[in-house]
Structure 1
Amino acid sequence: MSDNNHLCLLGLIFLSSLLTGVSGVDDAHVFISSGEDVRLPCNNALQDCTSTTWLYNRYSTFAELIRLGRKRKDTESHERLSLESDCSLNIRNISTEDSGSYICQQWTGEGGERLRPDARVYLHVLHVSSSHTEISSGLSVTLFCRLFSYTGVSCDDWIRSESIHLFWVNQAGVKSDSRYQISSSSDHCIISLNKTLLNEDHNREWRCEVTQRDQVKTSVTYTVKSSAEAGSTTSVIPVHSTHSQDPSTTNTHTIKEILTILKTAVFTAPTVILLQIICARRAGRKDSQQPGEIEINTII
Structure 2
Amino acid sequence: MDSFPLLRLFLLSLTHAAAGLQSSDHFMFSTLGDRVTLPCCIPSIESCSSINWNVYGHVKSDPQVVKAGKVTAPNDLRLRLLKDCSLEINQLVLNDARQYSCDNGALNSSVSLQILKVTETHAQKDIELQCYPSTYVGQGQCSTRVHFKWTTEDNTPLNGGRFQPENRGPCLSQLNIAKKTTDHHRKWKCQLFQNDTLKATASYTTTVKDGIEEVFTAVGESVSLSCGNTSSLGVSGSVAWAVGGRPLTDDISPCKGQCHVNTDSSLVISKVSALHAGDYNCSESADQHKVLNRIRLHTLDVTSEHGPGGDNLTLTCVLTCSVKCEKDFNLTWSEGGQNSWQSELMHENNTLIKRIFVPVRSVTSDELTCMARREGAVVASKKWHTVNSLQTLAWLALPLGLLICIAAGGLYMYMKRKHNKDAGNEQSNIGMTHVYDVIEDENNEELHQQGGVKRDAFTTTDSFYDLLQAVY
- TM-score normalized by the length of structure 1: 0.51
Cα contact 1:148–1:189 (8 A) shared by 2: no
Distance 1:93 1:192, change over 3 A: same
**Partner residue, 1:231:** 293
> What amino acid is the match of 1:63?
P
CA distance 1:144–1:90, shift in 2 (3 Å): same
Cα distance change, pair 94–201 in 1 and its aligned pair in 2 (3 A): same
Preserved contact between residue 56 and residue 101 of structure 1 (Cα < 8 Å): yes
State the one-letter code of the partner of 2:129. L
**Cα drift, residue 32 of structure 1:** 1.0
- Return the letter of the residue paired with 2:132: R
Residues 206 and 221, structure 1, Cα contact 8 Å, conserved in 2: yes
Q: 2:129 aligns with which of 143, 148, 152?
A: 143
CA distance in 1, matches of 2:137, 2:205: 30
- Provide the residue aligned with 2:50 in structure 1: 51
Q: Secondary structure at the match of 2:77?
A: helix
Deviations 1:212-270 (A, max 9, x none): 12222121244565543433269xxxxxxxxxxxxxxxxxxxxxxxxxxxxxxxxxxxx
Secondary structure in structure 1 of the residue aligned to 2:157: coil
Partner of 1:79: 77
Is 1:93 the counterpart of 2:76? The answer is: no
C-alpha distance in structure 2 between counterparts of 1:96 and 1:183, whole Å: 25
Q: What is residue 124 of structure 1 aligned with on the other side?
A: 114
Q: Distance in 2 between matches of 1:167 and 1:203?
A: 21
Which structure has more relative contact order (CA 8 Å, sep 6+)? It is 1
Report the 3-state secondary structure (helix = DSSP H, G, I; strand = E; otherwise coil) of the residue aligned with 1:120: strand
**CA distance change for structure 1 residues 154 and 198 in 2, over 3 Å: closer, same or farther?**
closer
Partners of 2:133 and 2:24 lie apart in 1 by 22
1:159 equivalent to 2:159? Answer no
Residue identity opposite 1:207 in structure 2? K
What is the CA–CA distance in structure 2 between the aligned matches of 1:37 and 1:53, rounded to whole Å? 20
Matching residue within 35, 39, 42 for 2:37: 39
Q: Structure 1 residue 192 and structure 2 residue 174: aligned?
A: yes
Q: Which one has the largest radius of gyration?
A: 2
Equivalent runs, 1:9-24 vs 2, <5 Å: none
Q: Secondary structure at 1:232's aligned position in 2?
A: strand
Instruction: Spell out, residue by residue over 1:191-222, the C-alpha distance to the aligned partner (whole angstroms, 9 max, x if none).
Output: 33232443554785522011112222121244
Q: 1:195 to 1:175 in 2, by over 3 A?
A: closer
Q: Say if 1:128 and 1:42 are closer, same or farther in 2 by CA, change over 3 A.
A: same
- Distance in 2 separating the partners of 1:71 and 1:219: 29
Matched position secondary structure for 2:41: coil
| Larger strand percent | 2
TM-aligned CA deviation for residue 34 of structure 1: 1.0
- 1:64 to 1:148, Cα distance in 2 relative to 1, 3 A: same
Query: Is the contact made by 2:128 and 2:176 (CA closer than 8 Å) also made in structure 1?
Result: yes
What RMSD over aligned residues (CA atoms) do the two structures have, in Å? 4.0
* C-alpha distance 222-176 of structure 1, shift in aligned 2 (>3 A): same
Give ranges in structure 2 of 5+ residues lacking alignment.
1-21, 207-212, 215-225, 228-281, 283-291, 297-472
- 1:217 matched to 2:199? The reply is yes
Q: How high is the TM-score relative to the length of structure 2?
A: 0.34
Q: Match for 1:178: what amino acid?
A: G
Displacement of 1:124: 1.9
| Deviation sequence 1:119-178 (CA, Å, 0-9, x none) | 22221211224458xxxxx974333322114869964xx234xx2223323456436642
Matched, 1:174 2:160: no
- 1:66 maps to 66
Q: What's the secondary structure of 2:293's corresponding residue?
A: coil
Q: Secondary structure at the match of 1:231?
A: strand
The offset of 1:184, in angstroms, is 4.7
Q: Is the Cα–Cα contact under 8 Å of residues 58 and 152 in structure 1 kept in the other structure? A: no
The one-letter code sitting in structure 2 at the alignment partner of 1:68 is A
Query: C-alpha separation between the residues in 1 aligned to 2:102 and 2:113?
Result: 13
In structure 1, the partner of 2:419 is: none
- Distance apart, 1:35 and its partner CA: 1.6
CA contact (8 A) 2:115 2:135 kept: yes
**C-alpha distance in 1, partners of 2:197/2:26?**
15
Paired-residue identity, %: 26
Secondary structure of the residue aligned to 1:209 is strand
